[in-house]
Every structure is written in structure tokens, then in C-alpha cells.
Structure 1
């Protein structure tokens, strides 16, 4: 796997990603459900969502580059060798936190989110929805509208 480069927020906005900084904004603006999932179930759900949206229509945020050096060291100590190797693939810029999502990234990001080590949010744009997490293995999922919500409900 090569380096994973960030994309500007404007790219996600242009594609119609549901972006919001406060979870309460998501609850007030969008259709939503809260799913309870184990980490393997959560990972599978993200895999399915990636498949139906396609690789060019799936993104995640990853805030490692904004952590202090001390926080970065603590984060790295929590990772397995395989996860450290994945981390080394990311190219970090303080101002850019969004990355194109690939299948190989899902295991890493779902694990650190489920363990509450560092949270990632997932953005899908073909069928717009945002997967936020983690609140005790409860994951709020926000949808553009009711139609999109129903498209996903049978799959997730």
C-alpha cells in the first residue's frame, strides 16, 4: 500500500458529504439511527457501505496529525505492529484531516474508534450518510434524507 494523502474539505463538500462539527447538529438536521455494534460488526458495516458507495465516494477523518507529539507517542503505544505499519502509510498535514477510504484502512480505523483510542468519522457520498462513533459501541449514522435512510437500513 502506498502513501495515503489527505483531501481538502472542499472536495467532500462538493461531493455532498454530510459534514458537521457537533453531533447535536447532525441529530437536528438529518435523518438518523443509532446502531449498537461490536467492532467486527461495525467493521463489516463499513465494508458494506464502502462497497455500495464505491471507492471514489467514501472518506474518513483521521486526526492523528493534529495531536501533540506526546499524544502521538501515546497513540502509537496503543497500536499493534500491523497498525503501526498502517499508520506509516498516512501523509499528515495539520490542516487536512480527510482521507479517501479504502478497504485496508477500515480494520485499523474501526479498531481505534471502537477502542476509543482516536475517533474517526466515515463519510459516504454516492448515497450520502455519515457514520459517527463511538459511544460505548453505539454508532450514530446520519442520512441525507428518509429515502437514503431506507436504502441503507436493509444493508446495515
Structure 2
């Protein structure tokens, strides 16, 4: 699958500024907020808002070519866990999951090479099927998986988060 490029942990550590082992470490060491929907509505509509937001960040820094890494711990799943994940997906997402699994997964870190994979990754989070972290570099931002449609985000400075404020509004999201 050309949409994701496996990278080493060493390369991940060189490229990603905002990284930590536990949410507590992130809360203690970085500016943070919670990204959530502005209003209660159907899950599919909320998913589209989050997908649109992440795709827009990806597009705005696409000239960087290396602008988004995700951690995706598929190699750690047992066969039973993988089967449970597979069975919870719609047909389109099952195909994507199998394409990913059939690639050489020598790491838990992947450079996103094609924005079309972003929808799949966000759906895994919003449906609470798999925990994924999104790491952006151009203007450092880390978005942790999902807790009941609330995504903890971490950033360096208030100016950094202001960079994303128009996109947050555009996609019917808010920070709390």
C-alpha cells in the first residue's frame, strides 16, 4: 500500500517534536486542549468534520512532503484481535485494512503519503476500534486518538494553535 510508508522509531524520533509515552506526560509537558464537535449530530457527520480537518492540515503542509506520521500498532495485534477489528469494519475499510496488513509492517510508525488513507484512520478512531495518534510537523501538532469523540491535542505555543483555528471553525469543531 503506497498510502503509508513504514518508518523506523529512530526516524520517528528525529521528525516528531511533540511525542510522549502517556497522556499524563503530554498534559504535563505541552500546551493542550480537547478538539471536539461544536454540536451533537450523527456520527457520520462528526466523522466527516474530523476527517476534513485532518485532511486540510495535511494539504496545507503537503509541500513539506513529510508532514504527517501516524502510529498504527497493527503489527502488535494477535490474529484474534485483528479478526475482531476486521469484522467491525464496513466493506471499503476491510479492503484498506487488508492492503495495509499485506504490506511489510516493520514498524508501528508510518508516514502518510496519500491523503485518501486519512478517512480510514480517522474512522478507526471515531468508532473507537483502534487508537491512533496523528503527528504533524510543519506547525507541530499531535492529535491523540479519541475519547468519546473528543481528541486531546498537544502543541508548542499559542501561536501554533492559532494557525489551526480557521480550520477548526471550518469543520464545525471547537477547542475546550
State the 1:85 CA deviation: 1.6
Using the alignment, how far apart are the partners of 1:16 and 1:79 within structure 2? 30
Change (3 A) 1:92 1:135: farther
Change (3 A) 1:3 1:47: closer
Q: Over alpha carbons, which structure has the higher Rg?
A: 2
- The answer as to 2:27 corresponding to 1:16 is no
State the 1:2 CA deviation: 3.5
What whole-Å deviation, never above 9, does each CA across 1:73-99 have from its counterpart, x for those lacking one? 111111122112211232253x61111
Count of residues in correspondence between the two structures = 155
TM-score (normalised: structure 1) = 0.90
Using the alignment, how far apart are the partners of 1:89 and 1:4 within structure 2? 10
Alignment match, 1:114 = 126
Q: Residues 57-76 of structure 1 correspond to what in structure 2 (within 5 A)?
A: 57-76=67-86
> Is residue 144–residue 151 contact of structure 2 (8 Å, CA) maintained in 1?
yes
Using the alignment, how far apart are the partners of 2:16 and 2:3 within structure 1? 25
Runs of 4+ off more than 6 Å: none
State the 1:40 CA deviation: 1.2
The equivalent position to 1:39 in structure 2, one of 31, 34, 47, is: 47
- The answer as to 2:66 corresponding to 1:56 is yes
Using the alignment, how far apart are the partners of 1:145 and 1:62 within structure 2? 27
Q: Could you list the runs of 5+ residues in structure 2 that have no partner in the other structure?
A: 38-45, 169-176
State the 1:3 CA deviation: 6.7
Using the alignment, how far apart are the partners of 1:2 and 1:128 within structure 2? 24
What whole-Å deviation, never above 9, does each CA across 1:88-141 have from its counterpart, x for those lacking one? 232253x61111123111111111110001111100011111011211100111
